């Protein structure tokens, strides 16, 4: 619970780019929590992102604009450290498959070690998005495939344009 009594959920990710699978988790979190902070993480482990951090933040902002209790932030520190600014923070993550679970379970234990106040909640992915990841979108875009039904409609031109620039490289 934050100081003003609001329950805050943090939805972290690299969002390179945001997909309809991410958005589904954000929308459902916004129905459960008073406020949702979508945190675009720099993520040192993912070497060469398709979009810069500023581009990712801007795209997430456009995608969540319709949700009044969702805001966007960015962080280049560990999630467990970032969460310290909130009282009783809850991280919400989406689970697509057993493989997600193993990784997330491990991350959860590490986060708890760094910040014992931090709770993690898992929402199962919507059936129609279990196959969907940012890397699938990047790959489809690289081959010029139709991105309808994978990412928010309004972001398709930006992603297609970036893929065109990529192909020219």
138 binds ligand ADP (CB under 6 A): no
Pairing of strands 8-13, 35-41: parallel
33 binds ligand ADP (CB under 6 A): no
108 binds ligand ADP (CB under 6 A): no
89 binds ligand ADP (CB under 6 A): no
Of the listed pieces 17-25, 73-81, 112-120, 141-149, which binds ligand ADP according to CB under 6 A? 17-25
Catalytic residue among 7, 61, 96, 162: 96
State the Cα–Cα distance between residues 76 and 71, nearest whole angstrom. 17
Give the SS3 label for residue 72.
Answer: strand
Rg of the chain (C-alpha set):
16
82 binds ligand ADP (CB under 6 A): no
Residue 86 or residue 92: which is nearer to ligand ADP going by CB? Answer: 92
Q: Which of 96, 120, 22 is nearest to 64 (CA)?
A: 22
Q: Which residues pair with 92 in a beta bridge?
A: 121
Of the listed pieces 60-68, 80-88, 108-116, 130-138, which binds ligand ADP according to CB under 6 A? 130-138
Q: Which helix (H) or strand (E) holds 142?
A: helix 134-142
């Amino acid at each position: 619970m934050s100081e003003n009594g609001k329950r805050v959920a943090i939805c972290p990710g690299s969002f390179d780019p945001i997909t309809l699978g991410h958005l589904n988790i954000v929308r459902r979190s916004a129905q459960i929590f008073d406020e949702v902070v979508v945190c675009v993480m720099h993520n040192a482990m993912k070497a060469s992102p398709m979009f810069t951090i500023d581009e990712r933040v801007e795209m997430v902002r456009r995608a969540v604009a319709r949700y009044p209790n969702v805001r966007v932030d960015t962080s280049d520190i560990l999630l467990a450290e970032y969460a310290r600014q909130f009282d009783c923070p809850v991280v919400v993550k989406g689970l697509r498959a057993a493989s997600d679970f193993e990784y997330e379970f491990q991350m959860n234990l590490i986060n708890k070690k760094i910040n014992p106040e931090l709770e993690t909640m898992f929402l199962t992915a919507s059936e129609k998005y279990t196959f969907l990841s940012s890397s699938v979108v990047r790959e489809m875009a690289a081959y010029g495939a139709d991105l309808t039904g994978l990412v928010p409609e309004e972001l398709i031109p930006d992603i297609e344009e970036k893929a065109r620039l990529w192909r020219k490289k």
